[in-house]
Amino acid sequence: MSDHDGKRDREEPFFIGSGGELLRPATRRKFFRMMGTSGAIVLLPSVFAGCDDDDDGPSGNERPQPVTAVTFDLRTDVGIFRLVHVLEIVEGAFYTAVVNKSDFTTIFNADAQEVLRDIRNAEVIHREFVRTALGAQAVPDFSSQLNQTTLAAALSSAASILTTARMLESLGVSGLNGGGKYIKDVRNLLVAGKIASVEARHLAALRELQPPAGVDANLAFASDETIDPNGRDIKQEAGEILARVKAMDIISEPLETNITISNPPDASQGVPTPSFFPPTP
């Protein structure tokens, strides 16, 4: 992992509002320059205003409808897995952006590159599994609705990438550990468990690649501040997970505000337990 990024200019994302702007030489020059660097280019929805309304498929004429709100009814396993689906959508988009960075192979060593590619593949597979499994109850894909300013900052260096990744995986591990008890069908509990131990492997590797400040690199995979005195891992309730996702400000508005829990679990599913989550996940 190099520290080159500390010396590179951090450009603001470059917003393009219409196809016509790309016809202007100055804009076009900047567009191509930013494609060659790690700058972020954002095509605003208005760029697509000139497209027809036909869903023409991969030709590029389709206009994805923005997702405006997502709710979770945690009284059902579907609701619980919709929250999982939201996290997987965010993770899939984030890690895909990471591995697609033009300087990915220069800011990360071979170990970290393999780690991040493997995580990216797994999160995309998790996302598509949940989407396929939930069918009509799946959360619509809002991957194109990430907050570009937050994303650009998260992608701006190896350090910021790994810090963001540690937080995302911590949310996955703690969320599945805290949410598992509410699951009602044993088949769904099993599949949640299959995902949870993989997320734990992610978290261990990421923490070792970049330990939180003050944590011994040899112990970071499972250091003392993240394992309780009974040897138990982190856990959080769904409300806490959602609050932390919002605090990352990684989903753009108005969608971010409109992601809500419509109903908490029934008492018969289980009762909330105290959170266990380190200050630096």
Partner 1 sequence: MEKNEPILGGIDPEIMQRLCNRREAIQRGASASAAVTWGLSLGSVPVALAALAKDVYAQAPSDILDALQFAFILENLENEFYKAVLGTSAVAAQNTAFNPVRAAIQALPNGAAIVAAVRQIQKHEQQHADFLRMTAIPLFGGTAPTITANDFDFTGGDGTGTGPFARATQEVDFLLLSAQAFEDTGVRAYKGQAGRFLIPGNTNADVALESALRIHSVEGRHAAKIRRIRRQRNPGDTSLRFIGYIRGGGLEAAGAGNIANPPAGVVDALNRIYGGTSPESNTTHVFFNDVTNTVATVNTATMSGVTVVGPGETQTTAATMAFDEPLTKQEVIDIVKGFIKDDPSRGLP
Among 41, 189, 248, 255, binds partner 1 (CB under 8 A): 189
Q: Which residue has the tokens 């899939």?
A: 92
Tokens of 80: 């619980």
Which H or E run contains 263? strand 259-263
273 makes contact with partner 1 (CB under 8 A): yes
Q: Is 229 helix (H, G, I), strand (E, B) or coil?
A: coil
> Interaction with partner 1 in 56-115: which residues (CB under 8 A)?
76-78, 81, 99, 110-112, 114-115
CA dihedral 228, 230, 232, 234 (to 10 degrees): -20
Q: Report, in Å, the least distance between residue 103 CB and partner 1.
A: 16
Q: Which of 199, 210, 241, 250 binds partner 1 (CB under 8 A)?
A: 199
Query: What is the footprint of partner 1 within residues 113-132 (CB under 8 A)?
Result: 114-115, 117-122, 124-129, 131-132
CB of 268 to partner 1, least distance (A): 4
Residue from 41, 43, 133, 255 in contact with partner 1 (CB under 8 A): 133
Closest CA to 182 of 261, 244, 127, 237: 237
Give the separation between CA 259 and CA 34, rounded to whole angstroms: 32
Per the listing, tokens 């320059």 go with 33
Residue 232 binding partner 1, by CB under 8 A: yes
- Establish if 178 lies at the interface with partner 1 (CB under 8 A): yes
Beta carbon nearer to partner 1, 47 or 191: 191
